[in-house]
Amino acid sequence: MTGFRRGRRIALDVGSVRVGVASCDPDGILATPLEVVRRDDDATAVSRIAALVAEQSALEIVAGRPRSLDGSDRAAVGAAEDFLRAVAAAVDVPIRLVDERFTTVQAHGVLQSAGRNSRQRREIVDAVAAVLILQAALDTEKSGGSPAGTPLDE
């Protein structure tokens, strides 16, 4: 067991249209939404994410890996990993992939209980999903002593 590594992390919920981005404090106490980056142009999106990683002085990026209910990779995983490889080439921090099953559904539930209508939810659901991915990764590392997920194979 290595214990919890102190430092900010960035989480990404990579979708085909938007990428939700979340970050946490250096002690990993609270994950918060940072922004939603549109993927109209992947080079611009990658550039914005690299800027956020630098601004936050992130220790690593934690990204959701799309999975089916049975645990197998979904079709979206290839496209998401291609985007993450482009991010990896633009940043100097490791990227770890964690299971993201149900995060978008959970994020919609959180926003609905907060009184957001469907249009308001659509604009920020990806950032809230990134918060859920990051919080789960932080909790896993704190309870198990090892980083969550697996490294992105470059």
Q: For residue 54, how many other CB atoms are within 10 A of its CB?
A: 13
Q: Which of 9-13, 71-75, 108-112, 114-118 tops mean pLDDT?
A: 9-13
Higher per-residue pLDDT: 21 or 120: 21
Give φ, ψ of 56 to 5 degrees.
Answer: -85, -5
Where do the structural domains in the chain lie, given as residue ranges? 7-147
pLDDT confidence tier of residue 62, bands split at 50, 70 and 90 = very high
CA 16 to centroid of chain Cα atoms: 14
44-56: pLDDT as tens digits: 999 999 999 999 9
- Which positions ≥6 away from 82 have C-beta within 8 Å? none
118-150: pLDDT as tens digits: 666 666 778 888 998 999 899 889 988 889 889
Torsion over CA: 41, 44, 50, 52 (sign)? negative
CATH 3.30.420.140 is held by the domain 7-147: yes
